[in-house]
Amino acid sequence: MKHNKLSIKWKFFAYLMLFTFIILVMLWLSQVVFLETIYKSIKINEIKVSANNIAKHIDDENIKGYAEAVGDQNELCVLALKMETSNRAIELFTVDTLKNCLLHTTDRRSKFILYDLAMANGGEYLKYYSYDQMRHGFIESDGQQSGEFESIIYTLVFQNNAEEEIFLMVNSVISPVAATVKTLYYQLIVISIAVIILAVVLTIFFSNRISKPIRKINDSAKILATGSYNVNFNGSGYKEVSELAETLNYAADELSKTDQMKTDLIANISHDLRTPLTMIVGYSEMMRDIPGENIPENIQTIIDEAIRLTSLVNDVLDISNLQSGVGDFIPKPVNITETIKKALLRYNKLTEQDGYTIDFEYEYDVTVNTDETRIMQALYNLINNAVTYTGADKRVTVSQTVKNGYVRISVADTGEGIEEDKLSLIWERYYKVDKVHKRASIGSGLGLSIVKSIMDMAEGRCGVESTVGRGSTFWIELPLRK
């Protein structure tokens, strides 16, 4: 098989490296590339919020104290004027915490220009200034400069409670971040290299740890594939792997059981086939060669052995049909009591000639929705077993009872019973309690597994109660028609 896919180890490695790369890119973008833009927009937002907060408290008694606190906190300079006319104003209060404050150096005329600009702009205006090295002072700018000192004045025109017009100016300085960016730049180079090395080491370590248990399981699975069922899957590491190991151990166990049963079956079947065939050939030759041996008893032996062979072959065919799903299950309303009676007719010869007693106990006729042929097949298997294994009294009791929405058909014998630890095993394919071949119990070991498969199809149930030395009662249950 060709594998074009990446192994889990390399996949994990690739994902972790991608993650590291994204984190580093984000770090570089925010700390170096866009630091100035981010810092500037934070500053502008800060000045706007401060101005609006002061405006909100303009009618407070201690507005100057409030404005001073805001100014101190954000390094702002504040000037509030009350407009008398459009070119006359009275100073209300001023806060002067900024070193290079522009408000206290700009002339009256420029302030009124700012007022006009704010009025034309809906009551607020933001103006940028940049530091000019030649003139040693701030000059007006468009706010696009970078790498030098900038100053911004934010103006706000509004009315107080007494409907007087207030003209508020707030000034703040934006220091250049170039020096900071440079420091961060070198720091980030060191950090990035360290993070990349760490990520590589960690991913190699972890990807190995993650893939190792899977590789180990794969190695064991390869051994299993060659037919060595005693391989052990070791699921150390993490939950999924130990669950997988458990499942595979279970599968290996089941495979080895089936394998063992098949080996047993072949041994048994070939023995079972050979014995009747030997008898048939032996009796036929005897009847051909020895005069006077052509008697009905000998012919009957040949017929009996041929019947044994047929039923053996039928069992094998039945189970393989049931398992491959070839045999359909066609439910129809069936009088199950009549079905049982029909099945028992088959045993007339046994009861009349061989001294067997087969009783049928029931209270009333019951109808269920099921496939009569299949149920008949299940019944034959149970009754055949009961006849085979029943005790010296040769008694078998079939009974039909109704309980909890189910009709139960039980087949009880008076034989040796089955040991408790074997009770769950007898339903498995090819399982025979008595492995030592006995003529009395020739069977394929398939009968009960056929019953179980049929009951699964019929949505019914089956089971057994048995007491060693007293006998066994096998039962099947079918759901009653609703």
Q: How far apart are alpha carbons 317 and 6 in whole angstroms?
A: 47
What is the residue type of 407? V
Shortest distance in whole angstroms from residue 312 CB to ligand ADP: 9
For residue 374, the minimal CB distance to ligand ADP (Å) is 16
Q: Which residue is nearest to ligand ADP (CB)?
A: 443
Q: Is there a contact between 475 and 463 (Cβ–Cβ < 8 Å)?
A: yes
Between 60 and 420, whose beta carbon lies closer to ligand ADP?
420
CB atoms within 10 A of CB 389: 21
Phi, psi of 480, deg, nearest 5: -75, 155
SS3 128: strand
Does position 378 interact with ligand ADP (CB under 6 A)? The reply is: no
- The answer to whether residue 276 forms part of the interface with ligand ADP (CB under 6 A) is no
Q: How far is the CB of 457 from ligand ADP (least distance, A)?
A: 17
Distance in angstroms (rounded) separating the CA atoms of residues 89 and 359:
123
Q: How far is the CB of 267 from ligand ADP (least distance, A)?
A: 14
CB of residue 388 vs ligand ADP: minimum separation in angstroms?
7
Best CA proximity match to 129, nearest among 79, 173, 90, 195 = 173
Q: Which is nearer to ligand ADP, 138 or 430 (by Cβ)?
A: 430
List 47, 169, 386, 458, residue binding ligand ADP (CB under 6 A): 386
Given the complex with ligand ADP, which of 167 and 380 has the nearer CB atom?
A: 380
Contact 173, 98 (CB under 8 A): yes
CA–CA distances in Å: residue 434 to residues 79, 426, 437, 441, 442: 109, 11, 7, 8, 10
Q: State both tokens at 377.
A: 């097949």
Residue 180 · residue 160 · CB < 8 Å:
no
Residue nearer to ligand ADP on the CB measure, 347 or 431: 431
Of 225-233, 237-245, 353-361, 411-419, the window that binds ligand ADP (rule: CB under 6 A) is 411-419
Interface with ligand ADP (CB under 6 A), residue from 359, 361, 434, 456: 434
Site membership for ligand ADP, residue 58 (CB under 6 A): no
Residue 255, CA distances (Å) to 46, 246, 260 in order = 74, 14, 8
Q: How far apart are CA 226 and CA 249, in angstroms?
A: 15
Q: Smallest gap, in angstroms, from Cβ of residue 314 to ligand ADP? A: 11
Three-class DSSP category at 130: strand
Give min distance, CB of 227 to ligand ADP, in A.
Answer: 27
Rounded to a whole number of angstroms, the minimum distance from the CB of residue 223 to ligand ADP is 33
Instruction: Report angle CA 412, 414, 418 to the nearest 5 degrees.
Output: 85
Q: Which residue number, 165 or 264, has a Cβ lying nearer to ligand ADP?
A: 264
Site string for ligand ADP, 160-199 (x = CB under 6 A): ----------------------------------------
Contacts for 458 with CB less than 8 Å, ≥ 6 apart:
329, 331, 370, 371, 374, 375, 478
Q: Which helix (H) or strand (E) holds 444?
A: none
CB of 427 to ligand ADP, least distance (A): 7
Question: Is residue 464 within 8 Å of 472, Cβ to Cβ?
Answer: yes
Could you tell me which stretch among 243-251, 277-285, 297-305, 431-439 binds ligand ADP (CB under 6 A)?
Answer: 431-439
Q: Does 383 bind ligand ADP (CB under 6 A)?
A: no
Does residue 431 touch ligand ADP according to CB under 6 A? yes
d(CA 145, CA 130): 7
**Residues binding ligand ADP: what is the number (CB under 6 A)?**
21
Comparison of 415 and 460: residue with beta carbon closer to ligand ADP: 415
Q: Which of 472, 476, 477, 478 binds ligand ADP (CB under 6 A)?
A: 472
Residue 331 or residue 391: which is nearer to ligand ADP going by CB? Answer: 391
> Which range, of 159-167, 173-181, 219-227, 424-432, touches ligand ADP by CB under 6 A?
424-432
Which of 196, 214, 433, 480 binds ligand ADP (CB under 6 A)? It is 433
Q: Could you give the C-alpha distances from 96 to 2, 59, 60, 69, in angstroms and in order?
A: 78, 20, 20, 11
Beta bridge partners of 81: 91, 167
Span interacting with ligand ADP, options 68-76, 291-299, 326-334, 439-447, rule CB under 6 A? 439-447
**Whose Cβ is closer to ligand ADP: residue 203's or residue 268's?**
268
Nearest to residue 145, comparing CAs of 169, 178, 118, 180? 178
Per-residue interface string for the shown chain with ligand ADP, residues 448-467, x marking contact by CB under 6 A? xx------------------
Nearer to ligand ADP (CB atom), residue 124 or residue 305? 305
For position 445 contacting ligand ADP by CB under 6 A, the verdict is yes
Strands 77-85 and 395-403: unpaired
Separation of alpha carbons 256 and 218, rounded Å: 19
Residue pair 406/478 in contact (Cβ under 8 Å)? The answer is yes
Among 252, 415, 455, 478, binds ligand ADP (CB under 6 A): 415
CB of 398 closer than 8 Å to CB of 340: yes
Q: Decide: is 446 part of the binding site for ligand ADP (CB under 6 A).
A: yes
Q: What length is written for the chain? A: 482
Q: How far is the CB of 243 from ligand ADP (least distance, A)?
A: 33
Sites of contact with ligand ADP (CB under 6 A): 381, 385-386, 389, 413, 415, 418, 426, 431-434, 441, 443-449, 472
